[in-house]
Amino acid sequence: MAGEEQDRERRLVVEGLHVEVDGRKILHDVNLTVRCGETHVLFGPNGSGKTTLLMAIMGFPRYRVTAGRIVLGGEDITGLTPYERARRGIGIMFQRPPTVRGVSLRQMAALCSGGEADVESMAAEVNLEEFLERDVNHGFSGGELKRSELLQLMAQNPDILLLDEPESGVDMENLQLVGRAIRKLLQKDLRRRRTKCGLIITHTGYILDYVEADVGHVLCEGTIVCSGNPREQLEGIRRYGFEECARCTR
């Protein structure tokens, strides 16, 4: 029983993960544990491997795990396809989602929820009612793409949210809306114990104004060089740059 409880507590565990993309080694020896109800943020310079980590956790075949494993609630999911992982409660917000022609945002949201979600009211929350009949992501602006992604995640209702730069390309007005939606998805306003977890990539840290994070990680050259208080990390990065993070650990 104690083991099972521990598994539930440690929702997502990444152990000694090495990942290659098209034969190029991108990640090496990445370790992190997201506990039940926690939100983690990932910082790191461009090309450090942040998106690769999220894509590998979601299980996209191009992101090949060469060593280590990914464990979800005690189950090793390293060999599972993205849809098997999605059905086990992992959801991802794409940084640059593709357009799927002929499939409307309404249909897409219905597919995400297995046909059960109240798509109309969810769309209202992210101000996308007018977009429901449009082909998913077709001709959407940067901010609209983020909101479309959030609408799909709301419909999917995953336990673990992987968010890749949710605030990039979003204007100040919509940032609030995006922030609120993510807060809700992560049960940040819940008074009782939260169960939803988040792993959020951010460059600017703006999202932290809306979503409180528990742990921050700095990823440099394919591995986590620092884990700790996200606010302090962000402050350090703003002041001294990532160079200092890397130096700090040497």
Partner 1 sequence: MCQMYEIGELRRRAEAAAEKPAPFGKDLDLSAYTGQAAECSYVDSLEELEEIGEEELARAGVEKSGVRRSGSFVQIDGTVVHRKALEKGVEILSTAEALEKYDWLRDYYWKTVEVDADKYTAAVALQSCEGYFMRALPGSRTIYPLQACLYMREPRFVQRVHNIIIAEEGSELHIITGCASEHEIGAGLHLGVSEFYVKKGARVTFTMIHNWAPGMDVRPRTGVLVEEGGLFMSNYVVMEPLNSLQLYPTARLVGKGATARFHSVLVAQPGSELDVGSRVILSAPGSSAEIISRAVTRGGYIAARGHIRGEVGGVKAHLECRGLILDPRGAIYAVPELEGKAPDVEMSHEAAVGKIAQEEVEYLMARGLSEEDAVSTIVRGFLNVRIEGLPPVLEREIRRMVDLSERKAL
Asked if 246 is part of the footprint of partner 1 (rule: CB under 8 A), the reply reads no
Q: Spell out, one character per residue from 218 to 237, where the chain touches partner 1: x when CB under 8 A holds, - when not.
A: --------------------
- What is the closest distance, in whole angstroms, from the C-beta atom of residue 128 to partner 1 in the complex? 16
Q: Which is nearer to partner 1, 8 or 87 (CB)?
A: 87
Asked if 156 is part of the footprint of partner 1 (rule: CB under 8 A), the reply reads yes
* CA–CA separation, 155 and 162 (whole Å): 15
Do residues 182 and 214 lie in contact, with contact meaning Cβ atoms separated by under 8 Å?
no
Q: Are strands 197-201 and 160-164 parallel, antiparallel or unpaired?
A: parallel
Alpha helices, H only, 206-250: 230-240, 242-249
Q: Spell out, one character per residue from 77 to 116, where the chain touches partner 1: x when CB under 8 A holds, - when not.
A: ----xxx--xx---xx-x--xx-xxxx----x--xx-x--
Q: Which two tokens stand for residue 19?
A: 């990942």
Q: Which of 59, 55, 145, 62 is nearest to 99 (CA)?
A: 145
Q: Which is nearer to partner 1, 58 or 245 (CB)?
A: 58
Q: Are strands 90-93 and 39-43 parallel, antiparallel or unpaired?
A: unpaired
Do residues 142 and 134 lie in contact, with contact meaning Cβ atoms separated by under 8 Å?
no
Asked if 131 is part of the footprint of partner 1 (rule: CB under 8 A), the reply reads no
Q: Which is nearer to partner 1, 135 or 221 (CB)?
A: 135
- What is the closest distance, in whole angstroms, from the C-beta atom of residue 104 to partner 1 in the complex? 9
How many of the chain's residues bind partner 1 (CB under 8 A)?
24
Q: Which two tokens stand for residue 161?
A: 């949210």
- What is the closest distance, in whole angstroms, from the C-beta atom of residue 156 to partner 1 in the complex? 6
* CA–CA separation, 115 and 212 (whole Å): 31
Number of Cβ within 10 Å of residue 2's Cβ equals 6
Asked if 57 is part of the footprint of partner 1 (rule: CB under 8 A), the reply reads no
- Count of alpha carbons within 13 Å of 171, Cβ hemisphere only? 3
Do residues 144 and 131 lie in contact, with contact meaning Cβ atoms separated by under 8 Å?
yes
> Which helix H or strand E contains 17, and what residues bound it?
strand 10-21
Asked if 58 is part of the footprint of partner 1 (rule: CB under 8 A), the reply reads yes
Asked if 65 is part of the footprint of partner 1 (rule: CB under 8 A), the reply reads no
Asked if 60 is part of the footprint of partner 1 (rule: CB under 8 A), the reply reads yes
**Footprint of partner 1 (CB under 8 A):** 58, 60-61, 81-83, 86-87, 91-92, 94, 97-98, 100-103, 108, 111-112, 114, 135, 152, 156
